Every structure is written in C-alpha cells, then in structure tokens.
Amino acid sequence: MDELLDVHLLLGSDPHERIDLVVAAASVHELDRVREAASRAVSSSRPLMQAAGILALGALGIDDAASRGALATAAATLVGSEDDDVREAVAQAAGMCSTDGRMTLPLLVLADDASTAVRLAAVRGLAVSADDEPDDGGDVAALLLRRFDDPDPDVRDFAVFALGVNRDVDTPAIRDALLQRLDDDEADTAGEAAVALARRGDRRVLPALKERLARADVGNLWVEAAAELADPVTLPALLALWHAGWAKDDARPQVLLEAIQACGGAAT
C-alpha cells in the first residue's frame, strides 16, 4: 500500500485531505488496485498498516460499493483491536460511510470505548444516520443519549449535535436530557442543546435563551435557537444585538437577521 500512497501522510491528514489523497491515488493507480492494497494492509500484523488500510477503504467506500463491503468486513475484525489508533481509524473510516447500515454496529461499540479519541470519532461518525435507521433512532439514539454525560466535552457536544440537531427523534427523555445540557459550559454543547430544544418547540429553553441573548458575546447557536423557537419575547434582545453590531463580528451573521424575521421583527 505504501507504494501507492504516502501512508504517514494519510494517517496525519484531516478527513478532507485524507479523502482527496486516497481518491487521487485511485485515479493514478486504478481503484481496484488501491482497494486490494488497502484490504491487504488491513490484514497486516502492523497496526500502522491496519489503520492506513481501513482509512483508505473508508475514503474509497464513499462512492464505491465494493470498498464499503471490504470496510464492513475489516471493521468487524478490527473493532476489537488492542491498539487505540487502529480502533480510532475504524471509527473514522466507518463514519465516512455511516449511511451504510453495516457501519452502525462497529460505531456503537466504539462509542463506548475507554479511549476518548475513539469515542469522539465514533460519535462523530454517528452524526449522520444510516439509511436503515428506525424513526425512533433505535440503539443509536440510546447510545447518543448516554454520551450526553460523557466526561469529555467534545464527545458531549457531538452527541447532542448528532441526536438533538441532526435527528428528529423526540421523546420526553431526550428533551429532559437536552434541558440538563443547557448549563454545560464547555465546547458548544449548551448551544446545540438550545437549538435542539427550540426545534422541538420546547419553551423550557426560554429562560436560558433570554439570559444568553442578553450577552453581547452570545454565540450564534443561541441566536439560531431563537430563530427556531420563533418566540416574539426574544425579539427585543435580538434587535439589541443587531443595533450593537453583533452581526459584523460573527462567523454566521445571517442567523441574526433570520432570527429577527422569525420572531416577527425587521432589522433596519
């Protein structure tokens, strides 16, 4: 495999660069050849090659069914690896192809891993649901709900995003768990929870939402939550942010205008 692409560069790349690297190798050396090399690497006794092989299969599997099949087989084998980096690579690779239901089980297993990096990769992978996921979220929803209380702030953040924002599953237990996360002061967890509650029309988010909107440095997730809830009671705070120039400094300035309009106001 290291004859077809730079293995160390592959392992050190971010997800987008990794995909580009593998696709480029497939273009130069032919898809079948790269897939076969990746499959052989997965069967290697070297953890580094195992990790590189399964990441390559994940990148190829985005558009290639044969690679997804090889990835499903490899993930079932390597999910129990004693090497943290290999298990993290399995989670990252499965996450690239998470719409394939065969990836759900390894991601569920790895989302409960002892390694924070592995759990985070798995929860990120579960952010996009499989095509055969039941409407109530099934085991995935139950797993993500457990991860709301993860000791790592980034894992909590992605769990709330995956279940609360990226899925429409709505139960009293999920709403109550989201409500508890409004006081989470790490990562973007509280803001994601606010958006999730607002989308579900849960007005219990209002006290926290009004308090946050009163801050000049409020994050755009809270403003997005105001747009989702569309309650006129937040309009004075939103207009105050507009006149204070909040939109000039935020990465998502349009969300404030959307919130003002959703709440029945007009920015002038």
Tens of pLDDT, residues 166-202: 999 999 999 999 999 999 999 999 999 999 999 999 9
Q: 94 with 106: CB under 8 angstroms?
A: yes
pTM of the model: 0.93
Q: What is the DSSP string of 85-134?
A: HHHHHHHHHHHHTTTSGGGHHHHHHHTT-SSHHHHHHHHHHTTSPPTT--
Q: What are phi and psi of 65, to 5 degrees?
A: -65, -40
Tell whether the model's pLDDT for residue 65 goes beyond 80. yes
- How much is the pLDDT for 267? 64
Report CA-CA distances (Å) from 41 to 85, 92, 200: 15, 17, 46
- Domains in the chain, CATH or no CATH each: 1-132 (1.25.10.10), 134-200 (1.25.10), 215-268 (no CATH)
Residue 217 phi, psi dihedral angles, 5° rounding:
-100, 25
85-143 residue pLDDT tens? 999 999 999 999 999 999 999 999 999 999 999 999 999 999 999 999 999 999 999 99
Least confident of 5-19, 38-52, 149-163: 5-19
More confident residue, 260 or 267: 260
pLDDT at 1: 85
